[in-house]
Amino acid sequence: MNLVAAGLNHHTSTLELRERLYFSPEQLPGALLHLRKLLGGGGAVILSTCNRVEIYAHHSAPPEDVMGLIRRFLREWHSVPEEAFAEQMYVYTDQEAIGHLFRVACGLDSLVLGEAQVLGQVHDAYLTAQAEQTADKVVHALFQRAFAVAKEVRSNSGIGAGKVSIGSVAADLAVSIFSELKDKTVLVVGSGKMGELTLSRLVDRGVGRVLVTNRSADKMEEVAGRFGGEPVGFAELAEELHHADIIISSTAASEYVLTPQHFQQALRMRNQRPMFVIDIAVPRDIDPKVDELDSVHLYDVDDLSGVTQANIEERRKAVSYCMEVIDDAAERFWTWVQGLAAESTIVSMSHELHAIRERELAKTLANLPELNEKEREEVTHLSKRIVNAILQRPMTQLKREVAERDPHTVLHLVKRLFGLKEGP
């Protein structure tokens, strides 16, 4: 069995491409079932965020075949031709795939180094796969180990030091544009986690007024109440837009929520006073052409990655320690995975030797009719202990050999030596 991690992220692809390959939470269950059908077995998890689309798979097929099925899956599900994304994809196998997941879970591969939100996203992706029964034994163990490694790294290093989140970056930008926020109004469109985190940072900076709109009236009221804001009906968004100096948009819409026409109208009503717009959604909520308008400062998630964050150097100092922990954990987990290849052979060895023991024991007991029941039980237990003691060293060494050498060659030799049936 092989482990494969394949996908694309903010390092390798454009936001436009990630939008086309994005899986919404509502799509994930169906997508996982379709992927499992294509793979025909094994385990799989889909991790889809604003910064990455990744698939983790455990399968008996060669990695190149699994990769071909993953590309086919993305092509079929999103109706996007392979040539549009194949060159932007990366693929990791076996121990490298394990290490990649651990780096992602620890925030080392994030747009903002060390950010904690990605761990929750990894956890949600795993839970969805578990609910749809696409997480097999190895995938389950892999993600559980990733969570443990992330906890260890965050507890024992400075990778989470300082405020360098997307929300902090956006708040800094807002201050750089407006200087003071106490007389400014922020409008929150939608209720994404990152949008609320950004709003929280702006409130901390003293923004004067908060407006909240959402398609869900209950969610709108809840967020508005939590931040001391005012609810705005989603249908009235266009009419109320001109009140906002800062707009944070983070919906799950499949098409643009705000267009250049909306902002042109708002700017006229504002006498062209500047507007700072943060589009954190993937797919994007705001038509990129809005950025062409004078007095509108539009930032999406890729734009924010280019902003220098305070305290980032302190986090970089922790990377070396984090990588040591991750590399060691990945090596140990891969050794465990390789050891699984020997399990069926070990079981066969045990069955074979105990079958011989039982045959010989039956002959011996038949030749010793004078033994009472207690004595017969003692002889039986002795025979079991002898066979188990003989098996102990070969079983331990076999696990080591398959972890260090070609498992197929090692297992084939063992099966020939013990006269075991060939097979998977």
Residues annotated as catalytic (active site), given as ranges:
50
Question: For residue 18, what are the CA distances in angstroms to 15, 23, 49, 59, 409?
Answer: 5, 10, 9, 25, 42
Question: How far is residue 253 CA from its own chain's centroid?
Answer: 22
How does strand 185-190 pair with strand 209-213?
A: parallel
Question: In this structure, what is the dihedral angle of CA atoms 249, 78, 61, 325, given to the nearest 10 degrees?
Answer: -10
Mapping DSSP to helix (H, G, I), strand (E, B) and coil, where does residue 354 land?
A: helix
Tokens of 109: 């591969």
Tokens representing 17 are 């491409």
Q: By three-state DSSP, how is residue 185 classified?
A: strand
CA–CA dist 119, 155 (Å, integer): 14
Q: What is the DSSP letter of 271?
A: T
Q: In this structure, are residues 356 and 398 in contact, taking their beta carbons and an 8 Å threshold?
A: no
Three-state secondary structure of 312-323:
HHHHHHHHHHHH
Helices 63-78, 28-39: axis angle to 10 degrees equals 140
Dihedral pair phi/psi, residue 259, rounded to 5°: -120, 170
In whole angstroms, give the CA distance from residue 323 to residue 102. 9
Phi, psi of 87 (to 5 degrees): -70, -20
Rounded alpha-carbon distances, angstroms, from residue 217 to 150, 232, 233: 36, 9, 8
| Secondary structure (3-state) at 113 | coil
Q: Which residues, including other chains, have CB under 8 Å from residue 12's CB and lie 6 or more apart?
A: 88, 89, 90
Cα dihedral sign for 21, 27, 30, 36? positive
The CA-to-CA distance between both ends of the chain, in Å, stands at: 10
Run of H or E residues at 51: none
Cβ-contact 141, 43 below 8 angstroms:
no
Which backbone phi and psi does 358 adopt, to 5 degrees? -65, -40
Which residue type occupies 262? Answer: H
Measured distance CA(103)–CA(119) in Å, rounded? 10
